[in-house]
Every structure is written in C-alpha cells, then in structure tokens.
Amino acid sequence: MSTLEDRVRASLLASRRWHGAEIAFWLLALAVFWLFPRNLLLLNEIAILALFALSLDLILGFAGIVSLGHAAFLGLGAYAAGLLAKHGIGDPLVGLAFAMIVSGLAGLLASPLIVKGNDLTRLMVTLGVALILHEIANSWGSLTGGADGLQGIAINPVLGLFSFDLFGKTAYLYSLSVLFVLFLVARRMMNSPFGLSLRAIRDNSLRAAASGVPPSQRLALIYTIAASYAGAAGALIAQTSQFVSLDVLDFHRSADVMLVLIIGGPGYLYGGMIGAIVFKFLQDTISAFTPQYWMFWIGLFLVLFVLRGRTLIHGGVKLIMSRLPARVRGKRS
Amino acid sequence: MSAVLQTNALVKTFGGIMATDRIDFTLEKGARHALIGPNGAGKTTFVNLLTGVLQPTSGTVVLNGEDITQLSRESRVKRGMARTFQINQLFSTMTPLAMIALVASERLGYGVRAFSRLDHDRRVIEETAAILAQFRLEDIMDNSIASLPYGKQRQVEIAAAFAAQPSVLLLDEPAAGVPEAERRELLNIVGSLPSDVSVLLIEHDMDIIFRFATRITVLVNGRVLADGDPTIIARDPAVRAAYLGEASHA
C-alpha cells in the first residue's frame, strides 16, 4: 500500500479515535455515584436531560435542523413507557424499547414536514406538533390522566435484579447506562459515512446534493433516530419517577433543551452533557437561595453567556480535546 | 463522436422573463466544450437546469441516452453528472480529505451505512488517495477547507466533483476570482482531466476558452446564437457584435 493511502487511513482513523478527555468524562460520570451519594436524584435528572440534549444535538448540531418542539418526542416516550408499565408490562428495558419505537415512528411521520422546509418553517412545525400533542394528552384524560398525570406506574427491577429506590441509586446507574449505550451508538453513527453525509448537509445542502447525497432522505433518517433518542429520555423520566405529567410535553422542555445544547455547544456529542450539568447545577444552586426568582438569574446568566461566555467554554473544551492527543503523539515520537 | 448530454428545446421562465429559450444543445463524448455569453445570457441557469437545481418549464435533458429531466440533483450525480459552482460551494468545517472521502463513499453507495467505518474501507481509501494525488492536494489534505486560499478551495471543489467519477463535468467559471499565481496550476489541472470525461466549461476569460475548448456555444438572451469550432466562432460577426466586441481574440 502506498504511503498516501496509509496517511488517508490514519487521518480517517484519527477523527473517530477516543480522546483521553472522553474516557475521563465517563469515568467521572460513574465515580459521582460514590462521590455524591446524596445527590443521585439530581444526577439522574442530569443524565436524562443529557440524553434529551444528545437527541437534539443529533439533529441540530450534526444535521442543522432547528426544533422548538423536541419535547413532543420526549413526552410521547414518557407516556408510551408509562402506559405500558401501567397496563402490566413493567420491565424497564421493554418499556424503553417501546418508547423508542413509538417516538421514532412519530419522528418518521413528522419528518416530511421537517426536511423540506427552511429554518423558520421547521421552528413553527416542530412547535406546532408539540403543542398539538400537549393538547391531545391534556384532553384525552381517560388514557393519559390529563392534568392529574399518569399514575399507577409500576416498574420492575432492572434486569430483574435492581429495584428502583427512593434515593435514586438504581435510577442514576440505569439512566447513566442508557445514556452511555446510546452515546456509543451516536458516536459510531456520527463517525460513519452516514454521519459524514449529515455534516455535509449541515455545512452546505447545495454542495451535498451535488456530491450525490440525498438531503431529504438523510434528514428524515436522523430525525427519526433523534426522535427515538428523545423517546428514550422520556421513558427514563417515566420509569425513574414512576409518574408522567403533562409537563413532559410542555414548551419549557423544548426551550430548556435548546438552552442546554447552546450552553454546552452543538456538534460534538458532549455539548448536551456538559450543558445539562451546567444548567441543572445552576438551576439547583440558584433555586436554593431564591426559589421564586431563580428563572430571572438563569435568564441573566444565559444572556451574558451567549454574549460573552460561550466562546470561552467551548474554546476551553476544544483546547483540552486538541491538546490531549497531541501530547500522546509527542510522547510516541 | 456520440452525444453524452443533450437538451431538447429547454425552456425556463421566471415570471415573464425567459431565462433559456428553447435551447438545443449537444455535448459529445470526451468533448472540451465552452459555453460563453455576456452577463445575464442564461449560462448559469442552463447549468442549473442540467444539474437539477432548477426544473425546466418545458423541454428535456438527456444524459447517456436517459431522460433525466425529472430526476433529483443527487440522482443525476449518481448517473455521471458532476459540477462546480460559480461561487465556491464547499463543506467549510471539513478537510479536503473528508470532503473527497464523502463523495467517494456516496458514489460507492455507502452513505446510509450508519455503523461502518471509513478507515476500514479499502475502496474509499484508494479512491480518496488517488484523487488527492491527482489534484495535488496531499500537503493540505488535513487542513480545514475554510482556512485554504481561494485558489486551493477551487482546486478542492474540482477534485470533489471529479471524485464522483463523472462522465460529464460542468465547470462554472473555475478560474473566476483566483489570483494569477494560483491560476496556472488550476488551469493545468483542468487541462489534464482524462479525455474520456466530457467537460463543459462556462467561462468569461477568452484566453482560457480558446486555449481549452475544441467547441464553443454562444448564449445570448437565453438563446443559442452560435455553435461550432472556436476559430469560426471568433470570426462570426454576430458573436463579435453581441459578445466579443472589438477586443475579440485575435
């Protein structure tokens, strides 16, 4: 094999190789189970929000699809898993798979409305779909419990071994495991020919089509996958809290996840996770000393962050990511 | 020679304006064909009709004997038609290597593979390396495309179009805006494209046209004014009046 082919192979390999910072991130995510045993409920919320934000990252960060109604799929997944458990199938993994299928199918059905439009159309369509689902859930009280929420959900132990407890031990490890597995799948996808074609569409749809990429087909596919990821996050909410309320379909869920991704930075898979940590930490800290007005401070933070801080945080993360492999190479040579 | 690309009475109207008016055009196999005309003649509209960016109001486009008028842009690429744009259209966050690997992967039908690895695929690697070498992009293959000089970006765009292994390559003003120092390298690359690829060049620069083309079609106001050998076109009084003016090629 020629030297140039070796170099091409090495460059393609480098783009998907694990960084030291990534391994450290996941080890730390596991270690907090022992480091912060009193905060496992909060950590569980962070893991679920991170999965929801990862779902948004797949469409926004990698494919350039903006959405103001991503909670539609979160809510569908939550109700799907909750209803399944309520009607006798309480196995969490079966519920998780069912929620992903239901939300994925909804994403597939909605995708023709998404792939053809421009950003403004997409914002309005996604917002509209979420509002419609919210109203259906509200009005169909016999199925969803309406404004009282879906009660009577009984979830079996995970793998028949680990029961959900009041302190969030099983919940956090379960949510973290689901997040990690779905992250691995997403990482693999984004480093595949399919992932490369999504980046192409995001960068320049005109050139992507002129390069043989069918933009509509690929966008529909990633939208379906992202919807099923959001459904998984919804299932985790239903299963770890054993309750589903209309809140899962509320507009603030769609807005929050957008903020989370903006804080963490879209397009590199970790943005949703970093954003979820920062967002939940801020929410928890600020609401502790000003329970009534914490949204004011969050709002102020976001304004300042978008104006000034975003480049600092994203730049810092990218610097760390770029430095680590460079050091490894330096030691080898 | 046989025709690889033909249009029959191709019409495109925008409101009351007729951008192309019943254009009958033939691109022969292995041709080096130039399409010229003053600004607003309809050249880029014509290329957009050929490549599916625009749908014609009436008329047909035939590629290698197949009517492709209703086909999508990407389907036309898969059938052997590739192009560059008047203004660079690139993937700014990618490297030249990634962009060419993408085109090779799509050509091979791997684009929907969500779990395969590009670095494991021998054909993608071989094709990508061959294109990088042919277009002399080895030294910059890992640079961000956005960071490259304009001339190099043009080179990357032509290389990416060529990576689709087209039978017809449409180059829309490839040398426009390229500094003189980089222009020569670019023109050498265009000049050394394999003879089995039919090239349609849209260009304003008469030196390039007369150095490159073996046949010229002149468009004026959306119509074919003249078509034929470059020396005949250069002497055609109607062409001189409409386009070349007194500063025509000597």
Half-sphere exposure in the Cβ direction for A314 (13 Å, CA)? 17
C-alpha to C-alpha distance for B14 and B12, rounded to whole angstroms = 7
The answer to whether the Cβ–Cβ distance between B90 and A207 falls below 8 Å is: yes
- 3-state secondary structure (DSSP) of residue B91: coil
Chain B contact for A55 (CB, 8 A cutoff): no
Quote the ipTM score: 0.89
- Which amino acid type is present at position A169? K
In this predicted structure, what is the pLDDT of residue A15? 80
In this predicted structure, what is the pLDDT of residue B16? 84
Angle, CA of A294, A58 and A28, to the nearest 5°: 60
Residues 6+ apart with CB under 8 A from A115: A215, A216, A219, A220, A223
A239-269 pLDDT per residue, tens: 999 999 999 999 999 999 999 998 898 999 9
Number of H helices, E strands in chain A: 15, 0
- Residue A4 covered by a domain: no
C-alpha to C-alpha distance for A18 and A315, rounded to whole angstroms = 19
Q: Which residue of A has its CA nearest to B104?
A: A211
Task: List the one residue out of A216, A190, A183, A178 whose CA is nearest residue A77.
Answer: A178
Pair B32, B212: CB distance under 8 Å: yes
C-alpha to C-alpha distance for B40 and B24, rounded to whole angstroms = 19
Q: Residue B111: its chain A contacts at CB < 8 A?
A: 193-194, 197, 212-214, 218
The answer to whether the Cβ–Cβ distance between A4 and B132 falls below 8 Å is: yes
Q: CA A230 → CA A76, A102, A179, A204, B151, distances in Å?
A: 9, 11, 11, 26, 44
The answer to whether the Cβ–Cβ distance between A203 and B72 falls below 8 Å is: no
In this predicted structure, what is the pLDDT of residue A324? 59
B51-70 pLDDT per residue, tens: 999 999 999 999 999 999 99
In this predicted structure, what is the pLDDT of residue B187? 83
State the smallest CA–CA distance between residue A85 and chain B in angstroms.
32
- 3-state secondary structure (DSSP) of residue A206: helix
In this predicted structure, what is the pLDDT of residue B243? 65
The answer to whether the Cβ–Cβ distance between A206 and B119 falls below 8 Å is: no
Query: Which of the residue ranges A24-38, A293-307, B1-15 would you say has the lowest mean pLDDT?
Result: A293-307
Q: CA B180 → CA A298, B114, B193, distances in Å?
A: 54, 43, 21
* DSSP state for residue B116 in the 8-state scheme: -
Architecture label for domain B3-90+166-247: 3-Layer(aba) Sandwich (3.40)
Chain A contact for B169 (CB, 8 A cutoff): no
Quote the mean pLDDT of chain A: 90
Domain that holds residue A253: 19-30+38-332
Query: What share of chain A in percent tops pLDDT 90?
Result: 69
C-alpha to C-alpha distance for A170 and A163, rounded to whole angstroms = 7
Domain count, chain A: 1
A311-325 pLDDT per residue, tens: 666 666 666 666 655
- Residue A2 covered by a domain: no
- Under the banding of pLDDT at 50, 70 and 90, the label for residue A326 is very low
Segments of chain B with pLDDT less than 50: 246-250
Which has the higher per-residue pLDDT, B33 or A300? B33
pTM, 2 dp: 0.90
Q: Which residue of B has its CA nearest to A221?
A: B112
Query: Which of the residue ranges A29-33, A41-45, B83-87, B178-182 would you say has the lowest mean pLDDT?
Result: B178-182
In this predicted structure, what is the pLDDT of residue A332? 37
- Residue A14 covered by a domain: no
Highest mean pLDDT among A149-153, A300-304, B129-133, B149-153: B129-133
Kindly list the domain boundaries of chain B, sorted by start residue.
3-90+166-247
Tell me: pLDDT of A330 over 50: no
Q: Residue B72: its chain A contacts at CB < 8 A?
A: 209, 214
Contacts 24+ apart (CB under 8 A), A310-314: A310/A262, A310/A263, A310/A265, A313/A263, A313/A264, A313/A265, A313/A274, A314/A265
If you average pLDDT over residues A47-57, what whole number do you get? 97
Q: Which residue of B has its CA nearest to A5?
A: B129
C-alpha to C-alpha distance for A200 and A57, rounded to whole angstroms = 16
Chain B contact for A218 (CB, 8 A cutoff): yes
C-alpha to C-alpha distance for A75 and A137, rounded to whole angstroms = 9
How big is the A-B interface in CB pairs under 8 Å? Answer: 136
* DSSP state for residue A88 in the 8-state scheme: T
In this predicted structure, what is the pLDDT of residue A37? 92
A65-121 pLDDT per residue, tens: 999 999 999 999 999 999 999 998 989 999 999 999 999 999 999 999 988 878 889
Query: Which of the residue ranges A42-51, A206-215, B235-244 would you say has the lowest mean pLDDT?
Result: B235-244
In this predicted structure, what is the pLDDT of residue A333? 31
Angle, CA of A48, A50 and A56, to the nearest 5°: 110
Q: CA A121 → CA A78, A108, A116, A208, B36, distances in Å?
A: 26, 17, 9, 21, 39
In this predicted structure, what is the pLDDT of residue B188? 85
- Under the banding of pLDDT at 50, 70 and 90, the label for residue A310 is low
Shortest CB distance from B103 goes to which of A11, A212, A215? A212
State the smallest CA–CA distance between residue A204 and chain B in angstroms.
6
- Which amino acid type is present at position A194? F
- Residue A5 covered by a domain: no
C-alpha to C-alpha distance for A108 and A119, rounded to whole angstroms = 19
In this predicted structure, what is the pLDDT of residue B203? 87
